[in-house]
């Protein structure tokens, strides 16, 4: 799996803005065109954006070639395996590396990405330097950092893990977040608020 590779060398920027979700293809960090479009529309310097998924290692693979069934199974495996010692150690190396490349880390976390974030967290990561917006969160507990939990009323997967959230959006299922303008506006406002404090 690509999580076992050495961390990527990221240039320093004051802020890093990135997605952190389960990998539909565990050998590839590429973002789908939908996620790339979402990232491109966020208002901040382009150099601050990471157009890859965690663990942010460039790859020639194409995320969109993965079927929905295979992507779902991959995410289930990552959720179940995230707290294993080997996975956790690898994830911690990657998160520590990206954290070291910026003063502030702004993460848009999807589904089991919240569990991956929790397992990757170390004491070396200062919670006040990280902001999280969690879309359809799937995790055993909330993260250590400040976090906005967003959940759709039709997201029955996320509701198994979080009965109480900050924002509940009507008529939204587990696969709908990055294509919904309401979500984009919430993420944009959260990013703007965080940048206003930098």
Q: Give the pLDDT score at 122.
A: 94
> Which residues face 135 on adjacent strands?
110, 150
pLDDT at 64: 52
Paired tokens of 182: 């309401």
At 54 the pLDDT is 95
* pTM across the whole model: 0.93
What pLDDT is attached to residue 69?
Answer: 73
CB 106 within 8 A of CB 16: yes
Both structure tokens of 112? 């089991």
Weakly modelled stretches of the chain, pLDDT under 70 = 60-68
> What pLDDT is stored for residue 80 in this prediction?
79
Peptide bond into 92 cis (omega under 30): no
- Could you give the strand order of the β-sheet that contains 13-21, starting from the edge strand earlier in sequence? 13-21, 102-110, 130-135, 146-152, 167-169
CA 137 to chain centre: 10
DSSP string, 88-120: HHHHHHHHHHHHHTEEEEEEEEETTHHHHHHHH
Residue pLDDT, tens place only, 82-107: 889 998 999 999 999 999 999 999 99
The pLDDT of residue 31: 93
DSSP state of 192: H
| pLDDT at res. 164 | 96
What's the longest Cα–Cα distance across the chain?
41
Second-level CATH architecture of 2-195 = 3-Layer(aba) Sandwich (3.40)
Q: For 55-81, how does the pLDDT look when each residue is reduced to its tens digit (9 = 90+)?
A: 999 876 555 566 667 777 877 788 777
């Amino acid at each position: 799996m690509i999580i076992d590779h050495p961390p990527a060398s990221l240039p320093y920027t004051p802020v890093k803005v990135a997605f952190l979700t389960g990998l539909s293809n565990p050998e590839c960090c590429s973002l789908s065109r939908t996620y790339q479009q979402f990232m491109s529309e966020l208002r901040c310097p382009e150099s601050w954006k990471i157009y890859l998924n965690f663990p942010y290692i460039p790859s020639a693979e194409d995320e969109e070639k993965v079927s929905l069934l295979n992507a779902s199974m991959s995410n289930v495996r990552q959720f179940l395996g995230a707290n294993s010692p080997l996975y956790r150690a690898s994830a911690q190396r990657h998160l520590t590396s990206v954290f070291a490349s910026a003063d502030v880390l702004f993460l848009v976390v999807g589904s089991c990405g919240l569990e991956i974030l929790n397992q990757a967290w170390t004491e070396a990561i200062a919670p006040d330097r990280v902001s999280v917006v969690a879309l359809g969160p799937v995790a055993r507990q909330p993260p250590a950092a400040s976090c906005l939990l967003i959940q759709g009323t039709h997201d029955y997967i996320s509701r198994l893990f979080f009965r109480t959230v900050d924002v509940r959006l009507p008529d939204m299922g587990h696969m709908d977040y990055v294509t919904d303008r309401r979500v984009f506006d919430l993420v944009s406002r959260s990013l703007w608020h965080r940048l206003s404090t930098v």
